[in-house]
Amino acid sequence: MIFQFLGLLFRDPVAFAVIFPILGLSLFVALIAGITIHEFSHAFVADKLGDPTPRFLKRLSLNPLAHLDPVGTLMLLFVGFGWGKPVSVNPLNFRGVSPRVGMALVALAGPVSNVVLAGLLGLVIRERLLAWHPPGYVLTFWRLWDLFDVWDPGFILAEVVGYTIVINLALAVFNLLPLPPLDGYRILVGVLPRHLAAPVARLEFTWGPALLIMILALDVFLRAGIISGVIGPALQVATQIVVGRRLM
């Protein structure tokens, strides 16, 4: 993500020096909040379904250090694709639901939590308590006489809130894709009839994350637009619903 803004460094180093700390802070807070609430929600639902594994592994916590994977977080920060530390779950411990349905509920909890967080912050924008700053808005203030405005506390807070809303919605949309090992895949396995769920479940053992990585590579290096073609429009719609404004 940060790489997208490095063009300003060569175009106007002074503006970059002023703006980059705000961009970095906004991205950092948004990713920390998104990953933490996402992984905590997986652990919380698994615990409520009767599995003590997340509690035993100290994942039933809102401490970001319990959920952040250093490499995955840096990848998200700089590239736009990464991961948090997966929550270990033993579906055989679930009570009241089958392991398959229980895993679907645990998986669903992550994206839902991201949408809820984005929705709560979206109320702040809808009630006009803060201005709507979509990601990249601060780059419109690159001229020297505008730079004093970006260090206003209200401006910085609007940047952080804007990034947090969009990144949480993007995490939800991305994780709902029905590809292993994403949450959407586990949800799909849980809701399909058993005779259809079994062959779909075997995809994870056959491909693992390779299928997802291959599609992402096609998008990044060949600009195939496979995943971005799905996430982009879905993110626009989600932002319109949550904030009442378009992403761009």
What local confidence, expressed as pLDDT, does residue 143 receive?
61
Task: Write down the mean pLDDT value for the chain.
Answer: 89
pTM: 0.92
Active site residues: 39
Span 164-213, pLDDT tens digits: 999 999 999 999 999 999 999 999 999 999 999 999 999 888 888 898 88
What local confidence, expressed as pLDDT, does residue 82 receive?
74
> Whole-angstrom Cα distance, residue 115 to residue 167?
10
Among the listed residues 79, 104, 85, 71, the one whose alpha carbon sits nearest the alpha carbon of residue 35: 85
What local confidence, expressed as pLDDT, does residue 80 receive?
67
What are the CA-CA distances from residue 192 to residues 11, 91, 96, 104, 176 (Å)? 52, 17, 19, 10, 15
What local confidence, expressed as pLDDT, does residue 175 receive?
95
Q: Is the pLDDT of residue 1 over 70?
A: no
